[in-house]
Structure 1
């Protein structure tokens, strides 16, 4: 049975989503004054079924959509990293992924053997922080959690175990790079699994910065992924600086870049970028910031040769869909009868064959009734 407060929270969330104030919705619902709706929203007056149906008509929301337990309306804040995505494209994709994130949240609460702290972790960063501040913070994380010379391989485990930030690899339109999602109890990073590995890792660190500084410097709902650096908002520049220092620590750079500037070629950068798990362009600018190469030398480097990090077509295969923990949760929910296969297919927007393939890709046995 759904708690009555659930409907009230949803009513408030959809009213705000539709950009209606209490007075406007009250009038549309036929109330004499705003106080009636205010009493309903504060829980001092009961919402009658007929009134709910009238509100849904005004809000243009179906009862099924309104009562869907796998909806994050009013619960989640998104920040998209995109490049020329249309508003409709982002809206549609947000609706689709919000159900997947809601499923992750629900299954984590049901099946996780680890009790997450009710005090969500955050970085000591404010809107007044400088590039030096965020760089120092990132490099301190590398040392504190022993991430090694090449931290990219350990970031997913760090963010999940220590900061309660889950990462899901999803198939996104080419115009969307990733997203940070802030909920009350967890944060989720969505990464376009079809981008190159270096960009996937950089996006992960970039979005993690947003997740861990959301209250102090909340990101915009939509940001451009590859906008001109001079036009990029300060918060996005801070996130880039954090990601750069986290993935390419200065102590590690000092250890592996011992050549004089003229010997730091495209091949040298490509080979080292692959070890760091970043794009060659990202490493090049990190070397500039650490005074390992000059801007003039960077301008002379062949950007086209560096664009693929020295890899041939087909060498950088996309990672598996979602993540191991989430897919294990899905398997367990089906095997235990917690959720029906039909419900899982609906939320994930998959066919039976695709769900089978997902389970097999993580070496999980397909339940006999599939």
Structure 2
């Protein structure tokens, strides 16, 4: 006779019932991380349902093996599910993904920004539509292979950096809302390194144990943003001038989309005594403005579309002393956050940063701690 739920100890996912009575949808990308999450939960006896999203190029993927990573990834996720004995579904989210992620990526890039589509995918697809699908499947929670930690705090679940700083994905998950965080689980966040994940994959005998990590944005296979933009927006690569900040015309270019803020190499303006960097993109005038490195430094960053994860409302204080990341690859820097509204603020860096670019995220961290306090989008040059 089953124990009454109030008398049952919490299971590893935080529910007061046996694992067998706890349904968990696992978002499976076909990679080693999400495969290990699914396998581990299945071995622990949970009612696991694997779901893989078909996001792009489905026809190409099926027509030729290896033609597109999407087809291979779906195949790998299915093999893992068969191996571990739980159901697996593939959902066609191609139109949703195009509308919510790819189109904005193209438009943002054309506007001279440097977008981060992985954040929008988590925000608008995985943690919105897929999460709703998990609820429709009557799952108690949804688990992913992200390297981030969910910890219970005084006022509810909190988002914390992964134990392994080298794998931490907090920069890409700042827009997770408190409601989503209540439903999500991240079983890998506490692991000290990726080696432990691969060891678990080998332990479970998973066919993806040695599969290499994906390095690129899924729909930008070789990191060549410009070629993708040209396909999405024909005629986008219009030529123009490369202009020094002092007004001198130094050369011509084949399209603003080939340049990003902070770029130094490949400018096509050799023979100058001092190195120059892209300091601004004037999309309307089709101009790439270059200048010395010091012109890239900024201390004031306007941020909007803020998702706040602190215990007190962001507007409860005039100032918050926090740390921020303005690029995923950079360490957090001390800053002062000054709220302008519930979703807008100005961030003042205590030490100037170079190459702060519109379209990137500015993610807020507790100074000296691991907690993520939210973040927002950098929206214009400071």
TM-score (norm 2): 0.28
Q: Please identify which structure carries the higher strand content.
A: 2
Q: Please identify which structure carries the higher helix content.
A: 1
- Greater relative contact order structure (CA < 8 Å, 6+ sep): 1
